[in-house]
Structure formats: structure tokens, C-alpha cells
Amino acid sequence: MKAFIALEDGTIFEGVSFGANGERLGEVVFNTSMSGYQEIMTDPSYKGQIVTMTYPLIGNYGVNKEDVESSAPKAEGFVIKEESKIASNWRSEKSLDQYLKENHIVGIKGVDTRSLTLHIRTKGAMKGIISTIDLSPKSLIKKAKDSPGLIGRDLVKEVTCKKFYNAKAVYSKPSILCHNTRFKVIAMDFGIKYNILRCLIDAGCDVAVVPADTTASEILAKNPDGIFLSNGPGDPAAVTYAIEEIKKLLGKKPVFGICLGHQLLGLALGGKTFKLKFGHRGANHPVKDLNTGKIEITSQNHGFCVDINSLNKDEIELTHINLNDNTLEGMAHKKLPIFSVQYHPEASPGPHDSKYLFNRFIQMMEKAG
């Protein structure tokens, strides 16, 4: 069945439908990872986005129930060059096509993803539509133009949990739960990835996950040893309610933020954020630790960034820099127990270049206690 992906600037790519039939709107972005398509689709940070995989062959190892980062896929659509006809892996439980159908995710294959990626790199990430039902280019382009963009849009409210839960209740693996629990952590859920929770638990934390609109007073009433600010989708500046509550938490307890959590923390500290031309999405982004001089190979997924020049250098130390474009990847407060990174240490592409950050959070709580 024929399918189209249309961009707001009038560019059209034709392909073949796979996964669910239908129509989805979103910002069209690309991810350069060679594997991990299941983790990518289920990452809540992709809410509101149509994901293009630059690696040409996708689906060759199938899908299983364990390699997910949330309860269901959050990406609006999925674009690939070639769907593997064979899913061969001892852990595979179903094909990618079947998984997309079951979760109502519209996919398109047979697309020249190299051309689409080069177009986005040149022109920037833009609004688009993927459709298997409306095959009129003119109609699709209009729909893409008229759709809401990401700037000023709060997508956190669409992916955050509805009520408090304990992360240990979600993961029953003995290898995780046998660790001694030393610290009580409150994780603010802006679209948290499951593996972040696993890493915190593995480091010895009893993690309580709370909705994004939980107030500072409610969090402090639980008397945690530390507070974690999670990843998530959309424009950080639009999540004003979270920024205001984070301000009230600063200096009260140790704080660790990742991705959107890092951006929200930057805003709470008086900084500003801006939208990147086409974002950072992939598993091989080099980041330099300015304290050690070491280079970490990192996993990234973000379209917004904290403006380095907007931060008060008397209070904030810049700790990590992206070597591709010199944007901010990490910061720490010079006096308060607060630090954050833009990239994803739990994703382990290095594979363990960035795991020390979870230990740093533990050490910070030990010192504060």
C-alpha cells in the first residue's frame, strides 16, 4: 500500500505502508543509531515527533517485551529505508511490523532516508505528516503547515504518570532488587525512561516516581535524600509549572537532572533555552568532560538546549561540552548539591562511559546526609 511523508516546506517522499494504517502529524527528525529501534520508539521524549532511522535496514532482530523504555511507543510515526524480511534473535517475540500494528503506530518504508536526513540537516527539523489514507500531496502539505509545532508546546502533560508509584514495584528482577537500598529518591516524571529507574535502583536508591505537576512542598514532605529530574518531550520553557517548583527545591536536597530535566534545571537557575536546528539524536555523540578531559561516547535525544551564555558563571560551572557543535551538555552548581547532563548516561552506548554520573548522585546524597 502506498504511503507518503510530507513536510511543511512542500517536500514529499513516497514509500510503502507498514505497521498501522492512518495519518499522524509531528516534527520530523532523524536518529543515527544503528540499533535500538524499540527503545527509540518507546522513549517518551519522542512524543510529538515522527522518527526517521538513518541506518538502512531496520527490524532484523525483532521486538521483545523487555527492551522498552515506557509502557507503549510514544513516537507519532516511524520512517525507514528497508524493513528486514527476517527477524532473527533468540529474544525476539514478534516482528517490528506486528509491533507497530498492535500499538497503532503508522510506519512508512522504502523512503530515501539519506535524502530526507540531508534535507532536515540543511533546512532544519520541521513539521510533517505521515499518511497511508490521504495520498494527495497538496492536502498533506497543508495539513503539515497547519499543525502545531513544538515551540511553546507542553508535551510533558501527555506522557507523565497520573499518580505516585514506587519504581521497585515495576521491576521484579532479582539482579536489580537484591541491592541494598540506601537512599530515598523522588523522581519527577516528565517522561521518564525505564532504564533510568533501573540505574537508580541498581545504584542503591528506593525510587518514588511522582507526576510532573507535583509541588515542591509535596516532594519535601516525603523527606527524600535526593531529587531526580527526568527526561521528557517538547519545549522546556512551556513547562512553567515544573520550573517554578524546581526553583523551590534548589538548595533543599541534592538534585540530579537528565535531558529535559537538565533543561528545566537550567531555566530554574535563571538560564534560557533555545531550539536546535535539527537536534541531537543518536548513540555516538562525543561529549567532553571539562574536569577530566575525557571524551564520552553518548546517547542523545533532544531538540532544545540550554544557552551557555545565559547562565550565571559565578554560580554555575560548565562541566560537559558537545564536541560536534560546542553546545552545553552538563553543568553543576558551584555551592549547592546540584548537577545535570543533557545526554543519556543510562543508555550506555560507550558502553559505560557515563555510568559514573549515577555514582556521583549517590556521593552527593552521602555528603548531604
Tell me if 39 sits within 8 A of 61, measured CB to CB. Answer: no
Tell me if 223 sits within 8 A of 182, measured CB to CB. Answer: no
Tell me if 278 sits within 8 A of 30, measured CB to CB. Answer: yes
Which residue shows C-alpha cell 577530566? 292
Length of the chain: 369
As a whole number of angstroms, the distance between CA 347 and CA 38 comes to 13
CB under 8 Å to 351, separation ≥6 — which residues?
Answer: none
As a whole number of angstroms, the distance between CA 22 and CA 3 comes to 10
Tell me if 43 sits within 8 A of 31, measured CB to CB. Answer: no
Which residues are identified as catalytic? 259, 344, 346
As a whole number of angstroms, the distance between CA 79 and CA 53 comes to 6
As a whole number of angstroms, the distance between CA 128 and CA 26 comes to 6
**Cell numbers that stand for 258 in this block:** 537528565
CB under 8 Å to 119, separation ≥6 — which residues?
Answer: 7, 11
> Coil, strand or helix: which one is 290?
coil
DSSP 8-state secondary structure symbol assigned to residue 350: S
Tell me phi and psi for residue 216, to 5 degrees: -60, -40
As a whole number of angstroms, the distance between CA 178 and CA 74 comes to 31
As a whole number of angstroms, the distance between CA 300 and CA 279 comes to 9
**Cell numbers that stand for 128 in this block:** 510533517
The residues that bridge with 131 in the sheet, in sequence order, are: 4, 23
As a whole number of angstroms, the distance between CA 263 and CA 201 comes to 24
As a whole number of angstroms, the distance between CA 281 and CA 40 comes to 10
